[in-house]
A = this chain, B = another copy of it.
Amino acid sequence: MAERGDATWGRPVVPGSGRLRPLGLGEVRFEPGFWGDRQRLGGEVIVDHCRGWMTRLGWIGNFRAAAGGGSSAGREFADSEIYKLLEALAWEAGRSGRDEPERAVAELAEEVATAQEPDGYLNTRFGWRGPEIRYSDLEWGHELYCYGHLIQAAVARLRTGHDDQLVSVARRAADHVCQEFGAAGRNGICGHPGIEVALAELYRATGEDRYLEQARLFVDRRGHGLLRAGGLGAAYNQDDRPVRDARVLRGHAVRALYLASGAVDVAVETGDRGLLEAVAEQWRNTLAARTYLTGGMGSRHTGESFGDDFELPPDRAYAETCAGVAAVMLCWRLLLATGEAHYADAIERILYNVVATSPALDGHSFFYANPLQQRSPAAPADGDAESPHAAGGVRSQWFSVSCCPTNLSRTLTSLAAYVATADDHGVQLQQLTTCTVRTALPDGRAVGLRVDTGYPWTGTVTVRVEESSGGPWRIALRVPPWADGAVLTHADRRQPVGPDGATLGGVPGYVSVEASWRPGDEFRLELPMTPRWTRPDPRIDAVRGCAAAERGPLVYCAESVGQDPALRLDAITVDASAPPADHGRADDLDGAVRLRCSARPVQVPEAGWPYASNPDGEAAGAAPLTLVPYYAWANRGPSSMRVWLPEAH
């Protein structure tokens, strides 16, 4: 098997079959705008930031040190951060054609190669507690996990037209894994999934069956208690039950989502519909009961894990940035396999409210955990020190476990590759963003279009055809489920788009226009950007009696900075009988649209036993409460914050 299409197209995921074909970095180009700006931040600021820290901390130096028998800096999975950075640099080099990331790839690959052993084994640490025998601690050693990220970096090189040293190192490592862990080898799996998805992609990029077979083996072996269960239980690393028997995601959120992504890849490539449906069901149940309004996943700090159904505390939400990255990986795969718009809806929610939340607006500090409530302003971060833990209240420049900045960088630098898809009939715009799309239909006709929009701040999306060579084809735009009252204007005709992400001759969740397009043709979709209040399922006990403001794809929050000092966020109610109102752009938050609603301070009891027969009443004076997009909070110094606002009764 070989991948369909041009190897230089820059696509992170290239399924051998499925309802939709992904368009890559060579086909979709952002123009300046919300996501275009962030892709640039990822490729020009965050990658340098990560490289600088990892140079300073010695993580990059680990490879030469290991080759020389020296000790290694950082945690047992530090190698993976260099690999994630390599993947980011590969996408950035391929997309931009700039020299700097290209040179960085070559330099880092050179470092990495020094530590590879003759049989392909490559790790600067071995095991968990100091230098140990290889594969002696599969539960915690992260060796296979690290290979996974190495291989994903190599796939990024292959898919941007390079078959270089990095690819060669990764293939030798992958071959070593197949040898060591094949059907006739060790009956083992890694405590942290990640190798599965990587091997499946390497199979796709190279056509070598053994990589797919190894990915399948790793997926099938999990859930049979091969790993020693520690205090966190076998569910922590999804070894409690086979992937195809599970009903919901559980345990460590990133592990669960990486594993599910790999399982989808295996299912798609092997035609295993049962496995695909099992993962789809797990996703549905996870979304219905274990996901925050932001799309964040992982309710517990303990084990960085999913909690029970409806256990979704806003204050102790872990909602790790990497879980957001991993959820996008999973949804993208399910979208390509099924063509169902709700997966793209989820991607939009996660991108705007988890992935975009992590980096500071300047790209030099990051959230690891993404809680929905911060009771007291956190202490300012010490910019020169690694953050020892994943505190949620303030962004940190770097972490002792620093998976999130590098994971973010590889996502942002490849972001345009998650915007559009194609099928036999035309192109689907999965995300509404200012960009150009140039691709070819299966019959060879070149097509091109340009999208202009102020989304997510304004709701008008204009599509202009720039290239078309005869005959009808379709352009579909996803209509988000909240966009009740959307209107399509085409050929001077305004047509209301039906409720529930309704259809106009297409798939549910999309509005689709088919025409024999000529360059210069346009149409326009108008989405209602009216702010709205959203309330939780009554089983989500932790936010009972509260409402959250949303506007378009964005979740909003109240932040203490810039707020009326009479309104202490820990003791207010809001009047949610009227919707929140637009309240202009915030100059200090890159022009984000603010909202406003009416709030009242709540009387709190005197200090003492905090339980009594009668709840306290509300104080008299209402005051306006300003809301900002959740992703933008904590960019103006430490603050208290809450997404869920208690409703006045």
Interface residues of A (CB under 8 A from B): 129, 229-233, 284-285, 287-289, 291, 293, 300-302, 307-311, 313-316, 373, 375-376, 388-389, 400, 481, 532-546, 548, 570-571, 602, 604-605, 607-616, 644, 646, 649
Contacts and interface: CB of A to CB of B under 8 A. Distances in A.
Contacts of A532: 613
Contacts of A389: 231-233
**Most-contacted residue by chain B among A307, A316, A375, A532 (CB, 10 A):** A316
A129 B612 CA distance: 48
Contacts of A644: 541
A579 to B, nearest CB: 9
Contacts of A373: 541
B233 A310 contact: no
9 contacts: A230-B388, A288-B607, A288-B608, A291-B610, A308-B376, A534-B611, A537-B616, A539-B571, A539-B604
A302 B391 CA distance: 12
B310 A313 contact: no
A537 B300 contact: no
B310 A375 contact: yes
Contacts of A313: 313, 315-316, 542
B610 A540 contact: yes
B602 A533 contact: no
B613 A388 contact: no
Nearest to A568: B539
A538 B571 contact: yes
A225 to B, nearest CB: 14
Contacts of A316: 300, 307, 311, 313, 316
Contacts of A233: 388-389
B301 A605 contact: no
A233 B537 CA distance: 35
Nearest to A610: B537
B646 A309 contact: no
A371 to B, nearest CB: 11
B613 A533 contact: yes
Contacts of A302: 301-302
A439 B219 CA distance: 72
Given A310-B610, A313-B316, 11 more contacts: A231-B400, A289-B607, A293-B611, A307-B316, A308-B375, A310-B375, A311-B316, A540-B610, A542-B542, A544-B646, A548-B611
Contact of A610 (B288, B605, B608, B609): B288
A10 B307 CA distance: 46
Contact of A615 (B538, B570, B615): B538
Contacts of A310: 375, 570, 610
A191 to B, nearest CB: 16
A268 to B, nearest CB: 25
A646 B611 contact: no
A340 to B, nearest CB: 13
A285 B610 CA distance: 10
A400 B230 CA distance: 11
A644 to B, nearest CB: 8
A388 B231 contact: yes
Contacts of A571: 538-539
A304 to B, nearest CB: 10
**Most-contacted residue by chain B among A289, A308, A311 (CB, 10 A):** A308
A198 B311 CA distance: 40
Contacts of A605: 537
A208 to B, nearest CB: 40
